[in-house]
Amino acid sequence: MKVGVIGCGFFAQNHLAAWQAIKEISSVIVCDQQVELAEAAKTQFGVRQVYDEAEEMLANEDLDFVDIVTTPSSHRLLVEMAARYGRHVICQKPLAPSIEDAKAMVDACKLAGVTLMVHENFRWQGIIQRAKQLIDSGRIGDPFLAQISFRTGYNVYSNQPYLAEDERLVLYDMGTHIFDLVRFFMGEVSSLYAQTHQVNPDIQGEDAATVLLCHAAGASVAAMNYVSAVEHDEFIQIPIRIEGSHGSLEIRRDYQLNVVSNKQMTPYHVPPVHYSWGSSLGGAVMESVVNIQKHWVECLNTGTEPHTSGADNLKTLELVFGSYESAAKSIVCHIR
Ligand code: NAD
Ligand code: 89V
């Protein structure tokens, strides 16, 4: 398969390294408005061709799909451009700055008959996949409570300086990951109540948020911040605790996964698959990027809908924007 990668910045390095590791990918073309970044990608990843304009690449290259790794303000333009050229398309999270934009993108891809997947990769970390397998096997019975936290003091602004300028920060950037995990483990959300805070005075948006989410059978508590001062910073690992009718499951730091089933505890150690090129964000990220991109290739080969399709991701984005509404008005936001 031939992929056209649009955006050769910070996170694209992980996408490009992962495409090299996937045998079905025969050719990678790159595009970046900052053409020097595209040229750097050509050198580092053995890319065949370089562009600085997406439309020129789409017009000149017979691509099987496009992989968009730009920041959200350009996502709608680029997704709809790929759809116009009849190209299947992956787009990084957050899909769009509004639910209306996101719905228009999903509709444009459906109308064009192309597949849209959001590169929402946290659920593709090996330890998350293992946890889901154990829960689906019935080891803890029926889940009724999830506690999912992503709290770190890691300087996220060093690799992603735009985050310090975003008026909407942790719910928009991290909530898209956490709410996808909430839905992955607990199902769809009926209502939510959110509170946000700005702790760091040197940024524009909220850097701390706590959200209570209600499901048909239980509740989730999602806590996220980019400002924690803790003894063991677990950055990019996600402490999770799921409680069920017959037991509980807990993901702890150092890739430890403990299951209590009918009062018996079974420990599992689920470290990420190691990839030689690694990722500045840690091994679990690299593993998740390879996994979601392999999933994408399998979906194209079998004609099946990706787990985090554009249509599916609308339900996650509803929780992001619903959380902002809830926090702004101090109300319970009813989702469906
Ligand atoms: P970045 O700013 O480092 O890179 C984006 C690149 O896209 C830039 O080089 C820019 O020149 C280029 N670009 C922008 N618009 C373009 C256009 N119209 N045509 C061609 N090139 C264009 O951003 P980043 O930190 O790599 O983040 C990119 C996306 O990845 C964001 O949406 C971010 O939220 C997401 N991200 C995801 C993860 C994850 O999946 N875990 C981690 C970090 C970032
Ligand atoms: O993973 C991400 O989406 C990044 C983060 C700062 C969390 O690493 O934005």
Confidence of residue 269 (pLDDT cuts 50, 70, 90): very high
C-alpha–C-alpha distance, residues 256 and 242, integer Å:
14
Q: What's the pLDDT at 280?
A: 72
Q: What's the pLDDT at 188?
A: 98
Mean pLDDT of 133-152: 97
The alpha carbon of residue 211 and the mean position of all alpha carbons in its chain are separated, in whole angstroms, by 18
C-alpha–C-alpha distance, residues 235 and 154, integer Å:
6
Residue 137 alpha carbon to ligand 2 centre in Å: 30
Mind listing the pLDDT tens digit for each residue in 21-43? 999 999 999 999 999 999 999 99
User: In DSSP terms, which residues pair with 145 in a beta bridge?
Assistant: 219, 243
Can you spell out the DSSP letters for 189-241? EEEEEEEEE---TTSSS--EEEEEEEETTEEEEEEEES----SS--TT---EE
Tokens describing residue 261: 């089933």
Q: Find the Cα–Cα–Cα–Cα dihedral 88, 64, 77, 56, rounded to 10°.
A: -160
Counting ligand 1 atoms within 8 A of each CB, the residue from 51, 70, 176, 295 with the most, and so the one to mutate, is: 70
Instruction: Looking at the CA of 238, name the nearest ligand.
Output: 2
* Residue 289 CA, closest ligand 1 atom number: 40
Confidence of residue 232 (pLDDT cuts 50, 70, 90): confident
Res. 277: pLDDT tops 90: no
Mean pLDDT of 289-316: 98
Query: Please, are residues 106 and 310 in contact by the beta-carbon 8 Å criterion?
Result: yes
Instruction: Give the class (CATH, top level) of 123-273+309-334.
Output: alpha beta
Q: What's the pLDDT at 276?
A: 82
Counting ligand 1 atoms within 8 A of each CB, the residue from 16, 32, 171, 292 with the most, and so the one to mutate, is: 32
C-alpha–C-alpha distance, residues 19 and 293, integer Å:
7
Confidence of residue 234 (pLDDT cuts 50, 70, 90): confident
**CATH number given to 2-114:** 3.40.50.720
Residues of the chain with CATH 3.30.360.10: 123-273+309-334
Confidence of residue 247 (pLDDT cuts 50, 70, 90): very high
Confidence of residue 233 (pLDDT cuts 50, 70, 90): confident
Counting ligand 2 atoms within 8 A of each CB, the residue from 157, 281, 285 with the most, and so the one to mutate, is: 281
Res. 259: pLDDT tops 80: yes
**pTM value surpassing 0.85:** yes
Residue 107 alpha carbon to ligand 2 centre in Å: 27
Residues of the chain with CATH 3.40.50.720: 2-114
From the list 222, 218, 207, 215, the residue with the least C-alpha distance to 148 is 222
* Residue 7 CA, closest ligand 1 atom number: 7
Residue 111 CB: number of other CB atoms within 10 A?
9
Residue 104 alpha carbon to ligand 2 centre in Å: 25
Q: Residues with beta carbon inside 6 Å of ligand 1?
A: 6-12, 31-34, 37, 54, 69-72, 74, 78, 92-93, 119, 121, 160, 162, 173, 285
Ligand 2 contact via 173 beta carbon (within 6 Å): yes
The alpha carbon of residue 267 and the mean position of all alpha carbons in its chain are separated, in whole angstroms, by 27
Ligand 2 contact via 207 beta carbon (within 6 Å): no
C-alpha–C-alpha distance, residues 78 and 85, integer Å:
11
290: helix, coil or strand?
helix
Query: Please, are residues 236 and 281 in contact by the beta-carbon 8 Å criterion?
Result: yes
Can you spell out the DSSP letters for 168-192? S-HHHHTHHHHHHHHHHHH--EEEE
Counting ligand 2 atoms within 8 A of each CB, the residue from 118, 120, 150, 173 with the most, and so the one to mutate, is: 173
Burial class (CB in 10 A: 0-12, 13-18, 19+), 286: buried
